[in-house]
Structure 1
């Protein structure tokens, strides 16, 4: 990001203004006029998250399932397994909460929707729900699963948007997560990776304390996938389907470019051994969460 863009981002967030170069007088198509500023929108007024104004009319989804986890924790593997169930549609990461709604300040649009009792948060809830429902209808299945790791930081918004949502908390050894992320992004040091992944894990703990839900470990999922999937299905009120263990042969595997079928064979044969970092290699910032999760 350029220095000017960083400056404009800060200015837009705090003042609503930006710095722009004035075009040369008489430039083609401009006639000396200053172009309309573009770039980051001014910060919108803060609103507290709240439940649907009219739950019956405002929500199409029923009992969506959210996997709350950190990056590099095996959520893609879990998604593919769940998506192989006849009742669950598990799409790729949708980064849903990045969809935002804005009003032009003081505009007739803002006044009109606020007269209906709908603010930014309410309209975003409608948008998110409709987008997920569209994806679900296309799948022909009754329930959707969403696993974007960033949802760990948005759990309050998710819980307010879908009061009937269900939650799966996927844990992995925090030191293994940090090392995996460091290896995936080498210009990020191991300590930097550890400091960032612990924030996901702390958010997961907050969410679980308030929302409840089913907790599972990546290490247990790879060691005995059938047992873990049976527990998940029981939590979701579904029957276990053996086809969940054959997730690597389906359409989603083709879309992702293959490779999961061989991994599936390795898991089922016990040839996958997740990292179990030695206690002395655990970064200090991760020690508390490692103890909380039983890894130390």
Structure 2
């Protein structure tokens, strides 16, 4: 009789219990891993100035912080036409995480001083640096709208990051979101959806006094002026190619559908839709309109003064 059987017999006599081997998982199946939304927030540390040299490959990345339906696709294409700026597709970094699935890996990483959040930061940095190197340019620009909810995390990951805040009239944002799928998103629901994004954008904008604010309406009204201002903020020379960024593929057209679809299709900046009248603005959006400077004068057709 094997040692295991002797031990099991003795255990049964004394405790009434037995030890059995756990069943093996079926081939092709993996243990369930909690979804990111179900997991606690990842712990991480902010690298010091000295640690940045070893912890980060990327230098001075640029993040566009905006609500959905605010013209970020148009801005991405214009910036991507600059010879020194590479604009990646939306990377959704907040949904890219790292898992240590046993004690040994957790212990090994802990011995290196790396918590789960630190590992995620290293991965994010490597992915973005890879795209920048492939493009052969100097700076990368990332514009996922969900970045509005993780401004602080991005700033902690890259202390030298630069932030561009893209605003658009709140009612125009809500209207565009509703019109993109009227059945799925009735207007009132669209207002609720975009208000969450805009609130996060404003919280990030208030926290970053060194960020740069640009408006979709100003870009479509005077694109050269706005691109010159933006280039000055980014420390690069203005490039006329930003106003004529060329034709894009059919896939780009699908990804960019919105009020700016004519801009995407032609590769040149076209006028945006007219601003809503004051009585067209829902009560819930009026405080944000006031905060962003879309006053009754703006609603009558004038665009707020360019903000820096």
Q: TM-score, normalised by structure 1?
A: 0.81
In the alignment, what sits opposite 1:8? none
TM-fit CA distance, 1:89: 0.2
The within-5 A match list for 1:108-257 is 108-186=104-182, 187-212=184-209, 213-249=211-247, 256-257=252-253
Aligned counterparts of 2:239 and 2:43: Cα–Cα separation in 1: 41
Which of the residues 61, 85, 102 maps onto 1:64? 61
Aligned counterparts of 2:44 and 2:158: Cα–Cα separation in 1: 11
In the alignment, what sits opposite 1:15? none
In the alignment, what sits opposite 2:73? 76
1:221-243 per-position Cα deviation (integer Å, ceiling 9, x unaligned): 00000000000001111110111
In the alignment, what sits opposite 2:298? none
TM-fit CA distance, 1:135: 0.4
Structure 1 gaps of 5+ residues are 1-31
Shift in CA distance, 174/139, structure 1 to aligned 2, threshold 3 Å = same
TM-fit CA distance, 1:254: 6.8
1:207-266 per-position Cα deviation (integer Å, ceiling 9, x unaligned): 1122231101100000000000000001111110111111124xx557625965654446
TM-fit CA distance, 1:94: 1.2
Which of the residues 41, 46, 49 maps onto 2:34? 41
Contact 1:82/1:89 (CA < 8 Å) preserved in 2? yes
In the alignment, what sits opposite 1:274? 273
Contact 1:62/1:143 (CA < 8 Å) preserved in 2? yes
In the alignment, what sits opposite 2:10? none
Secondary structure, in 3 states, of the residue corresponding to 2:141?
A: strand
Contact 1:101/1:124 (CA < 8 Å) preserved in 2? yes
Shift in CA distance, 133/177, structure 1 to aligned 2, threshold 3 Å = same
Q: How many residues align?
A: 258
Q: TM-score, normalised by structure 2?
A: 0.78
TM-fit CA distance, 1:284: 1.7
Aligned counterparts of 2:73 and 2:279: Cα–Cα separation in 1: 29
Which of the residues 45, 51, 71 maps onto 2:46? 51
Shift in CA distance, 71/45, structure 1 to aligned 2, threshold 3 Å = closer
In the alignment, what sits opposite 1:12? none
Contact 1:181/1:193 (CA < 8 Å) preserved in 2? yes
Shift in CA distance, 147/178, structure 1 to aligned 2, threshold 3 Å = same
Aligned counterparts of 2:190 and 2:222: Cα–Cα separation in 1: 29
- Which structure is larger by alpha-carbon Rg, 1 or 2? 2
* Greater mean alpha carbon deviation, residues 64-73 or residues 38-47: 38-47
Aligned counterparts of 2:146 and 2:274: Cα–Cα separation in 1: 23
In the alignment, what sits opposite 1:86? 83
Aligned counterparts of 1:44 and 1:261: Cα–Cα separation in 2: 38
Secondary structure, in 3 states, of the residue corresponding to 1:101?
A: coil
In the alignment, what sits opposite 1:11? none
Cα RMSD for the two superposed structures: 2.2
TM-fit CA distance, 1:40: 4.5
Structure 2 gaps of 5+ residues are 1-22, 255-261, 296-308
Shift in CA distance, 109/260, structure 1 to aligned 2, threshold 3 Å = same
TM-fit CA distance, 1:37: 6.4
